[in-house]
Amino acid sequence: MSGLNRSSSAAFKNGGLPPQELLDDLCSRFVLNVPKEDQQSFERILFLVEYAHWFYEDNSVEKNPSLKSFTLKEFTSLMFNSCDVLRPYVAHIDDIFKDFTSYKVKVPVTGAIILDVTFERCLLVKGWKGTSWSFPRGKKNKDEEDHACAVREVSFFPLLCVLVPLPMKAF
């Protein structure tokens, strides 16, 4: 955990790149110490890398602005280059990432429309660094029932939320 809140001097020396200790910590938390079944396909591994990316952005960059913020593709390349178990696949990272993004859009999402007690306003959310508003929703986990995903997605809101008036003509 100490690598997550390091002083900014290491980041400045690396041009904002995360120190290797932090990358090792992320690899350990999100790639190595997961059930073996989650390490059996690149789709599952890339979802783990995506979780690591969110954690990095939320817990490292936010607390240490000298660290560089990355796109998911950049972060994936960084993780594959720094994590021993992923390094053998670096030469194929473009194809792996392309296949993942194609797969990811096919994963179903569920959520809910949350109304206030007057049925005049609904809850809309926008993800961190998001540009558009939507109802709370998220991708289903492997073997997750629709209702379980919807409950999981609307049970917490670490997102920017707003209640907006509903045009009653829409009903």
Q: Are residues 12 and 69 in the same domain?
A: yes
Residue 99 sits in the same domain as residue 113 = no
Q: What average pLDDT is seen over the chain? A: 81
Q: Are residues 97 and 59 in the same domain?
A: yes
Q: Residue 111 contacts by C-beta under 8 Å, 6 or more apart in sequence?
A: 135, 136, 137, 138, 149, 150, 153, 154
C-alpha atoms less than 13 angstroms from C-alpha of 87 in its C-beta half-sphere: 8
| Of residues 85, 92, 98, the one with CA closest to residue 40 | 85
Amino acid at 140: K
Q: What is the CATH number of the domain that holds 74?
A: 1.10.10.1050
Please check the confidence at residue 171 and state whether its pLDDT lies above 60.
Answer: no
Please tell me whether residue 168 adopts helix, strand or coil conformation. Answer: helix
Same domain, residue pair 81 and 116: no
> Are 19 and 37 in a shared domain?
yes
Q: Is pLDDT of 115 > 60?
A: yes
Give CA–CA dist 147/155, Å, rounded: 12
Cα 93 to Cα 76: distance, rounded to the nearest angstrom: 8
Position with higher pLDDT, 5 vs 137: 137
- Ordered DSSP codes for 24-91: HHHHIIIIITS-GGGGSSHHHHHHHHHHHHHHIIIIIITT-TTSPP--HHHHHHHHHHH-TTTGGGGG
Q: Which pLDDT belongs to residue 141?
A: 85
Domain final position from 104, 130, 154: 104
- Sign of the dihedral defined by the CA atoms of residues 60, 61, 67, 68, in that order: positive
Q: How far is 55 from 5, CA to CA, in rounded Å? A: 13
Q: Quote the domain boundaries for residue 117.
A: 109-170
pLDDT of amino acid 1: 35
Q: Are residues 51 and 128 in the same domain?
A: no
Q: Indicate if 66 and 141 belong to the same structural domain.
A: no
Q: What is the pLDDT of residue 159?
A: 43
**What percent of the chain stands above pLDDT 90?**
38
| One domain for residues 126 and 154 | yes
Average pLDDT over residues 110-121: 82
96 and 37, same domain (yes or no) = yes
Which whole number is the average pLDDT over 148-152?
A: 85
Last residue of a domain, one of 104, 125, 159: 104
Q: What whole-number distance in Å separates Cα of residue 9 and Cα of residue 169?
A: 57
* CATH for 146: 3.90.79.10
Q: Are residues 142 and 157 in the same domain?
A: yes
* Residue 90 reports pLDDT greater than 90: yes
User: Quick one: average pLDDT of 30-42?
Assistant: 85
User: Looking at 75, 104, 133, which one is the last position of a domain?
Assistant: 104
Number of domains in the chain: 2
Q: Write down the pTM of the prediction.
A: 0.72
How many CB atoms are closer than 10 A to CB 25?
Answer: 20
